[in-house]
Chain A
Amino acid sequence: MKLKRILPQLLTLLFIVLIFGFFTMNAQENMDTRGIQFGFGFLTQEASFDIQFSLIDYDGSHSYARAYLVGLLNTLLVAFIGIILATLLGLIVGVARLSPNYLIRKTASFYIEFFRNVPLLLQIFFWYFAALRALPMPQDATLLLGSSFMTIKGLYTPAPIWTNFDIFFTTLIVAMILIFFFVKFAKKKQEQEGKQLPVLIISLAIFIGLPLLTFLVGGVDLSFSFPELRKMSQSSYTFDGGMGIPPELIALTLALTLYTATFIAENVRAGIQGIGKGQKEAAASIGLTPSQVLKLVIMPQALRIIIPPTTNQYLNLTKNSSLAAAIAYPDLVLVFAGTAMMQTGKAIEIVGITMATYLTISIAISLLMNWYNQRIAIKEK
């Protein structure tokens, strides 16, 4: 009996060890023949290449490790913006999909069916190579919203210039903590006394009012620098000042948002449809207004159904952002597993580090979701 359990495990173990051993031995032998060294020492070497777009201070004299950090931050930036926009769009489209209005419903479903069934790479290519390349040169650019320019070289918008930003930032954090405690307090009050405080209005007041106060008394100031056209040669112009957002970032975020929002919209629809009609009727029968029904009864239950697959979509969006390697957006894959790998030749180390990074992000999000699932799981009797 015991043998029946031990034998398969032993065989599996042997199999795994054999495969790994075979690979490692070959790799070692190949590297010896070629004279390649295995090691992570290259990370402290000077990178010698510049990166087009970086959130932190970086130029070619920094190390490969810092280049890795720049790539990672760029990936997280795209993921962050994409997640926010995709969630918003997905919510709107998901709710629109259930609207009683025929036109709205059909438009939403047309959007979902269209953008879901075209490969993401093709969408990215279309936006970058076809759509954004058709934009005008800086000198012919049209004015958007009074001070932004959409050109073939990017979107140039006014850039904020802060004085005493840290005071503003800490006030913001303090405001969020206050709101968190206030919400908890309001919930406890509701459960004990049945009274509802106008949570939304008060939270908004705190969130907006407190930081605004710093402008008056904290010495915080905000001004804008506007993009101005400057002539570089007889036919090429550029914008000085302001913030220049590269078209690569815009194309990638646009494509990722439109693609992922379709899946989120389907999840939202499934979530809302999954709430039995009995819930709505029971809530109405105890005298709740429609908006109260939505807020107190439908949404909490719907969220339970919506959030797990949506978190999966967030993960997919982060992984799909690696497609930036196909257009020139300097994310982790392009900067580290592209340029750095080609300059140093350390393929195994670099691809290993890249995969480990994505793996860490995925596992972190999975663990977070498991914890959330366990917390909100309906305790069945």
Chain B
Amino acid sequence: MNSKNLDLSKSKIQINRNTSLIIGILFFFLGIFDFCLNNFLGTNITSFLPRFINFFTPLIFGVIGLHFIRIEFSGIKFLDSLNKNINPSNFNAALSLCIIFLIIFSLPPLLNWFIFDANISGDTKEACTGGGACWVYIKVWFNRFMYGMYPNAEQWRINVTFVAVLAFMAAGFFVPAKFRNYLSLYYTLILPIISFILIYYLISGGSFGLEWVETGAWGGLSLTFIVSFFSLIFCFPIGMMLALGRRSDLPVVKYSSLSFIEFWRGVPLITVLFMSAVMFPMFLPDGTYVDKLIRVVVAITLFEAAYTAEVIRGGLQALPRGQYDAAKSLGMGYWKLHIFVILPQALKLVIPGIANTFLALVKDTPLIFVVGLLEVVGMLNLAKTNPEWLGFSMEGYVFAGIIFWIICYSMSKYSQKLELKYKTDR
């Protein structure tokens, strides 16, 4: 008797569940359909309702639909995961629907502008006939955006320099174990000198038969990288000295490091750049003129060194006191102790922090256009006002945004990977 009742009720539940599922799916798709009609075709199947409710009918349909779909433990794997993720409650269902509608609303026009209505072939302004983006503009100006006003014929020099510097940086990973101890020395002293020589002789030129290109002509993305690399490479040793000074127990050293760090961390970068462009020349002897790019790089280096110092200090603090004591008990002096024992360990800890600082540095370089150095954003503004190409500012900004986004996103993902790797190491 009982089992029969159970049987009956089970099948009743079965029937109820299936119908509710079907009703739910119907309403859900009705809601989406209504939204699409409203949005793309301008028609309204529920126009007989008052204005206010009319606006929300897609949402109402959708929520009703999802409410019916929400069956716990239905046994169908797809439905269960759907319910758990999108449909845990009515409120959540409404929010999910809003997001779905937003995607439907914005994706087609975006795709249209980006791809379907866009023009990419051709060489002049007339080639941009569609209503979408004019990628011809980017194509024509691409060289300028990448290399600034650097003469076209000499651009191979910039490429060669970058490849060489990257090679030298990566070389640190492949040295045999015998030389591992000297790695920190390599990165803080030798690499900056090599990079400086490379950039001076290759990019700037003037000797060995290479044409001299003045720094005012450097620009575009290559300038962004030059400034970032230089600043990073030079701010590293300075930051290290500052971090060590900050932790020292000699009062003069400690307080001067502290004031230096707090000063540079407390002022915005734009005032630092103004200082380097406008105030700095007054502080040099009459007649000596230092190139603007060098002044700007020095300013940015000192600025970033303060932030790097804080990051390194965090790493130094995280080391257990035991390391200091053990090294001292072996009779190592201050410098030996730091170079061979403390710094290698601390630097390994702070690599993610340094990567973050570098990321912030790359995001800060567009500011140098306020002092007249034309990196990517500056070149964009220049191209935007060229009389032949007026009115394409949107394409320019989107292009620059995409480039920066790719660079910064990949760097931040890489630094997250590094962080995980070095976390497990300890």
A→B interface (CB under 8 Å) = 5, 8-9, 12-13, 16, 23, 26-27, 29-31, 33, 99-104, 107, 113-114, 116-122, 125-126, 129-130, 319-320, 322-323, 325-326, 333, 337, 341, 347-348, 351, 354-355, 358-359, 361-363, 366
Q: Is the pair A322, B270 in contact by a Cβ cutoff of 8 Å?
A: yes
- Whether, in the assembled complex, B110 has its beta carbon less than 8 Å from a beta carbon of chain A, the answer is no
Nearest-CB distance from B153 to chain A (Å)? 30
A101 in contact with B85 given A119-B363, A125-B377, A333-B271 (CB within 8 Å): yes
- Size bin of chain B's contact surface: 35 or more
Cβ contacts A to B, 22 pairs, < 8 Å: A8-B253, A9-B253, A26-B286, A101-B96, A103-B96, A104-B92, A104-B95, A104-B96, A114-B405, A119-B366, A121-B367, A126-B401, A319-B267, A319-B268, A322-B268, A325-B270, A337-B274, A341-B278, A347-B282, A348-B279, A351-B271, A351-B274
**B99, closest chain A residue (CB):** A103
A99: chain B residues at CB < 8 Å are 92
Which stretch in B129-137, B142-150, B258-266 binds the other chain? B258-266
Q: Is the pair A102, B404 in contact by a Cβ cutoff of 8 Å?
A: no
Q: Is the pair B412, A117 in contact by a Cβ cutoff of 8 Å?
A: yes
**In the complex the two chains form, what is the Cα distance from A326 to B274 in whole Å?**
13
- Whether, in the assembled complex, B332 has its beta carbon less than 8 Å from a beta carbon of chain A, the answer is no
Q: Is the pair B268, A320 in contact by a Cβ cutoff of 8 Å?
A: yes
A348 in contact with B366 given A117-B404, A359-B267 (CB within 8 Å): no
Q: Is the pair A118, B274 in contact by a Cβ cutoff of 8 Å?
A: no
Nearest-CB distance from B287 to chain A (Å)? 10
A29 in contact with B404 given A9-B253, A117-B412 (CB within 8 Å): no
Q: Is the pair A117, B393 in contact by a Cβ cutoff of 8 Å?
A: no
Task: Give 5 new A-B contacts, CB below 8 A, not counting A9-B253, A122-B377.
Answer: A103-B99, A104-B99, A119-B362, A323-B270, A337-B274
- Whether, in the assembled complex, B364 has its beta carbon less than 8 Å from a beta carbon of chain A, the answer is yes
**In the complex the two chains form, what is the Cα distance from A99 to B85 in whole Å?**
9
**In the complex the two chains form, what is the Cα distance from A122 to B400 in whole Å?**
8
Q: Is the pair A118, B267 in contact by a Cβ cutoff of 8 Å?
A: no
Nearest-CB distance from A112 to chain B (Å)? 11
Nearest-CB distance from A356 to chain B (Å)? 9
Q: Is the pair A100, B409 in contact by a Cβ cutoff of 8 Å?
A: no
A118: chain B residues at CB < 8 Å are 401, 404-405, 408
* Central interface residue in B265, B270, B400, by most chain A CB within 10 Å: B270
A351 in contact with B404 given A101-B88, A101-B92 (CB within 8 Å): no
A129 in contact with B262 given A26-B284, A351-B279 (CB within 8 Å): no
Nearest-CB distance from B373 to chain A (Å)? 13
B270: chain A residues at CB < 8 Å are 322-323, 325, 333
A5 in contact with B250 given A26-B283, A104-B95, A333-B271 (CB within 8 Å): yes
**B257, closest chain A residue (CB):** A12
- Whether, in the assembled complex, B390 has its beta carbon less than 8 Å from a beta carbon of chain A, the answer is no
- Whether, in the assembled complex, B331 has its beta carbon less than 8 Å from a beta carbon of chain A, the answer is no
A117 in contact with B250 given A27-B283, A102-B85, A355-B271 (CB within 8 Å): no
A101 in contact with B366 given A319-B268, A333-B271 (CB within 8 Å): no
A325: chain B residues at CB < 8 Å are 270, 370
Q: Is the pair B393, A31 in contact by a Cβ cutoff of 8 Å?
A: no
Top 3 A-B pairs ranked by shortest CB distance? A362-B266, A102-B85, A117-B408
**What 1/0 mask marks residues of chain B from 349 to 364 whose CB sits below 8 Å from any chain A CB?**
0000000000000111
- Whether, in the assembled complex, B394 has its beta carbon less than 8 Å from a beta carbon of chain A, the answer is yes
Question: Total A-B residue pairs with C-beta atoms closer than 8 Å?
Answer: 140
**B288, closest chain A residue (CB):** A26
A33 in contact with B404 given A113-B409, A122-B377, A322-B271 (CB within 8 Å): no
Contact of B84 among A12, A100, A129, A320 (CB under 8 A): A100
Nearest-CB distance from A20 to chain B (Å)? 10
**B396, closest chain A residue (CB):** A130
Q: Is the pair B252, A26 in contact by a Cβ cutoff of 8 Å?
A: no
A359: chain B residues at CB < 8 Å are 262-263, 266-267
Q: Is the pair A358, B377 in contact by a Cβ cutoff of 8 Å?
A: no
Contact of B256 among A12, A23, A104, A319 (CB under 8 A): A12
- Whether, in the assembled complex, B26 has its beta carbon less than 8 Å from a beta carbon of chain A, the answer is no
Q: Is the pair B252, A12 in contact by a Cβ cutoff of 8 Å?
A: yes
A351 in contact with B363 given A27-B283, A363-B262 (CB within 8 Å): no
- Whether, in the assembled complex, B100 has its beta carbon less than 8 Å from a beta carbon of chain A, the answer is yes
**In the complex the two chains form, what is the Cα distance from A117 to B400 in whole Å?**
12
Q: Is the pair A119, B364 in contact by a Cβ cutoff of 8 Å?
A: yes
**A360, closest chain B residue (CB):** B266
Nearest-CB distance from B138 to chain A (Å)? 15
A129: chain B residues at CB < 8 Å are 393, 397
**In the complex the two chains form, what is the Cα distance from A129 to B100 in whole Å?**
30
A326: chain B residues at CB < 8 Å are 370
- Whether, in the assembled complex, B160 has its beta carbon less than 8 Å from a beta carbon of chain A, the answer is no
**B89, closest chain A residue (CB):** A101
- Whether, in the assembled complex, B298 has its beta carbon less than 8 Å from a beta carbon of chain A, the answer is no
Nearest-CB distance from B406 to chain A (Å)? 9
Q: Is the pair A100, B252 in contact by a Cβ cutoff of 8 Å?
A: no
**In the complex the two chains form, what is the Cα distance from A361 to B262 in whole Å?**
12
**In the complex the two chains form, what is the Cα distance from A356 to B425 in whole Å?**
43
Q: Is the pair A122, B366 in contact by a Cβ cutoff of 8 Å?
A: yes
Q: Is the pair A9, B251 in contact by a Cβ cutoff of 8 Å?
A: yes
**What 1/0 mask marks residues of chain B from 59 to 87 whose CB sits below 8 Å from any chain A CB?**
00000000000000000000000001110
B401: chain A residues at CB < 8 Å are 118, 122, 126
Nearest-CB distance from A146 to chain B (Å)? 14
Contact of A122 among B262, B265, B404, B412 (CB under 8 A): B404
- Whether, in the assembled complex, B285 has its beta carbon less than 8 Å from a beta carbon of chain A, the answer is yes
Q: Is the pair B285, A26 in contact by a Cβ cutoff of 8 Å?
A: yes
Nearest-CB distance from B259 to chain A (Å)? 10
Nearest-CB distance from A26 to chain B (Å)? 5
Nearest-CB distance from A269 to chain B (Å)? 14
